[in-house]
């Protein structure tokens, strides 16, 4: 089964991001916008895992979340991966990474590596993928999209308290991925 660990977004933030995506859909650009129900902040992509490893993964997540305090996160910064010249992903992130979030992601990497889950080679980046670029865009078009997202984000409060972590299964289909909650883990109350 294909799985990942993430932080779910409040419905209000998903709806707000969806409204921005709708406004950007009128642009003649080849961007696949992530469905509102699929918006999340990935902590760790696990890839294909054997079902027999699921309990061990749950125990690791539970052990980490029991000692990690909940935290507040504010989404406010749009960006692209890997860079503006070769953009493939449009995202919303934060310019104020909470220490607890950074430590949570680091602990998941360390403890899951012991369990045989390969470590992520890139440094953790707290972000929500909102769109996938299907063909290279002119830099000027991409800059317009990012500016529109910045303008929309400037007047919104995309802050929320993170109190739990969710383990998802991802099933790929013709209409895109479908996510199923496998388990949820509460963070320690500070």
Q: What's the CATH number where 6 sits?
A: 3.90.1140.10
Statement: the pTM of the whole predicted model exceeds 0.85: yes
At 28 the pLDDT is 67
Model pLDDT, residue 117: 93
- Give yes or no for residue 54 having a pLDDT over 70: yes
CA gap 184, 190 in Å, rounded: 18
Q: Quick check: 133 pLDDT over 70?
A: yes
Query: Bridge-partner residues for 177, per DSSP?
Result: 172
Number of domain units in the chain = 1
DSSP 8-state symbol, 95: S
Distance of CA 183 to the CA centre of its chain: 17
The mean pLDDT of 112-137, rounded to a whole number, is 88
**Where does the pLDDT of residue 186 fall: very low under 50, low under 70, confident under 90, or very high at 90 and above?**
very high
Q: Which domain holds residue 147?
A: 2-186
Q: Which two tokens stand for residue 115?
A: 């369990």
pLDDT tops 70 at residue 188 = yes
- What are 105's two structure tokens? 């992601």
Q: What's the average model confidence in pLDDT over 167-176?
A: 92
Q: What is the mean pLDDT of the chain?
A: 90
Residues carrying an active site annotation: 40, 127
């Amino acid at each position: 089964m294909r799985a990942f660990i993430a932080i779910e977004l409040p419905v209000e933030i998903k709806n707000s991001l969806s409204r921005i995506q709708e406004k950007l859909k009128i642009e003649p650009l080849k961007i696949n916008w992530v469905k509102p129900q699929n918006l999340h902040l990935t902590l760790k992509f696990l890839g294909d895992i054997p079902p027999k490893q699921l309990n061990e993964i749950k125990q690791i997540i539970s052990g980490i979340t029991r000692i990690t305090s909940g935290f507040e996160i504010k989404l406010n910064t749009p960006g692209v991966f890997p860079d503006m010249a070769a953009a493939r992903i449009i995202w919303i992130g934060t310019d104020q990474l909470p220490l607890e979030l950074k430590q949570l992601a680091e602990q998941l990497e360390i403890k899951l590596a012991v369990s045989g889950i390969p470590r992520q080679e890139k440094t953790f980046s707290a972000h929500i993928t909102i769109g996938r670029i299907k063909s290279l865009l002119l830099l000027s078009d991409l800059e317009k999209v990012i500016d529109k997202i910045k303008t929309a984000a400037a007047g919104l409060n995309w802050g929320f308290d993170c109190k739990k972590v969710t383990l998802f299964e991802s099933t790929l289909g013709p209409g895109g991925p479908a996510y199923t909650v496998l388990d949820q883990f509460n963070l320690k109350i500070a």
